Structure 1
């Protein structure tokens, strides 16, 4: 029976991933995610429902548009598969409950924000500011996981921390470092996960960012001036915090919970 539910949530995640592909493509271009319907970006032909089945349609069409035969980027099925895996992870952490849907929506939003940040070096306010409002609103639920005050402090502190870091960096170097998009995203994370999550989220994100930064320092022609999007690293830090602060993993960490802020 457990396997059945995992398959169901994986398929549900694939469908969410298909929607995320629309969000990732359209929001940075200031396009509606509702109208027009799915269409080929090359020839503009509408995509029929049977050609829009997550992953399967890509395989059956051999990665090409049915009408103009333009190649379909492999990123589309990849995003769908990763969204499916995130759904499975959320189900493993929270079971079939309201928290599965809430935190899967949170993870899916971070995932979309990360891809957009990588491709466009921006994070849409629809995700960050909208997500922050939703996160604070959820703290008012009767069976809330994060108290209202903790959610509010998390949002405020999350924004201020990166805002101050960005301002100090500019004062010292006269170059823009982090944008306000990163600060808004951390505000959203703080609203969902609470104030205590921020140290681990920032630490994990910074460590991963440093490793990737060193990699690009040597391989990129821009060297130390290469602009690395920080949103994906904050998202990974949030995922790390969410995993280790939930269920059996938290119990096994024992005394380290206080150090990690969980």
Structure 2
């Protein structure tokens, strides 16, 4: 049991390192406005990194995504991401961010209604938060993040079925795979989309 907090700390630090790497890759040097926008954006993704671990662990243990973490994240994420876009005068991101949150909320809501055993409304609320972060980055990141969640979750479910550790009626937590998919979209959404388009000769 004593090793568990150390493992959690290690995961948090790892995700924080990813967030820092990502933010530095997007770092906008130049005038004070772009520098300030980069700092605020870094704070937003560090926040997402920090809440990723408890959300994933809680969902794995009790099959629940707690409102006490998810709901404040709408305010924190929206304020930080919206602030970064406004400071940088990136009005497109300011529009796509809430649109992305709404889009993922609606998609996951439809899935939850159609398959209540496969997805809970905690996942739906989490989808809205992740949509804000992915939408802030752009449509490619939003699409890859959503697709990766279903891909990873589906592969995990298949693995459990093959290993006979779950049945068709078993409840499988989806939150961890939503979070993993979101990070895949955040860090690799743009290059994956470019590679996919290039594969079919559609690269711009």
TM range (shorter): 0.7 to 0.9
Q: Distance in 2 between matches of 1:94 and 1:257?
A: 24
Please, what TM-score do these two structures have when normalized by structure 2?
A: 0.76
Alignment coverage as a number of residue pairs: 178
Find the counterpart in structure 2 of residue 143 from structure 1. 88
CA contact (8 A) 1:86 1:107 kept: yes
- The answer to whether residue 125 in structure 2 is matched with residue 181 in structure 1 is no
Q: Which has the higher contact order (CA 8 A, sep 6+)?
A: 2
Q: Which has the larger radius of gyration?
A: 1
Identify unmatched segments of 5+ residues in structure 2.
Answer: 28-38, 199-204
Q: What's the CA shift for 1:124? A: 1.0
CA-to-aligned-CA distance 1:217-247 (integer Å, 9 cap, x gap): 13345411221111110101111111125xx
Q: What's the CA shift for 1:198? A: 3.2
| 1:256 equivalent among 192, 195, 198 | 195
Q: Distance in 1 between matches of 2:64 and 2:145?
A: 20
Find the counterpart in structure 1 of residue 41 from structure 2. 99
More helix as a share of residues: 2
CA contact (8 A) 1:154 1:198 kept: yes
Q: Distance in 1 between matches of 2:192 and 2:145?
A: 17
Where do 1:88-237 residues align within 5 Å?
A: 88-95=17-24, 97-141=39-83, 142-143=87-88, 147-170=93-116, 176-194=117-135, 196=139, 197-220=141-164, 222-237=166-181
Find the counterpart in structure 2 of residue 81 from structure 1. 10
Q: What's the CA shift for 1:201? A: 1.4
**Cα pair distance change 1:254/1:128, threshold 3 Å:** closer
CA contact (8 A) 2:55 2:175 kept: yes
CA-to-aligned-CA distance 1:51-94 (integer Å, 9 cap, x gap): xxxxxxxxxxxxxxxxxxxxx34221111111111122222222
Q: Distance in 1 between matches of 2:197 and 2:166?
A: 41
**Cα pair distance change 1:193/1:257, threshold 3 Å:** farther
Q: What's the CA shift for 1:144? A: 6.9
**Cα pair distance change 1:208/1:140, threshold 3 Å:** closer
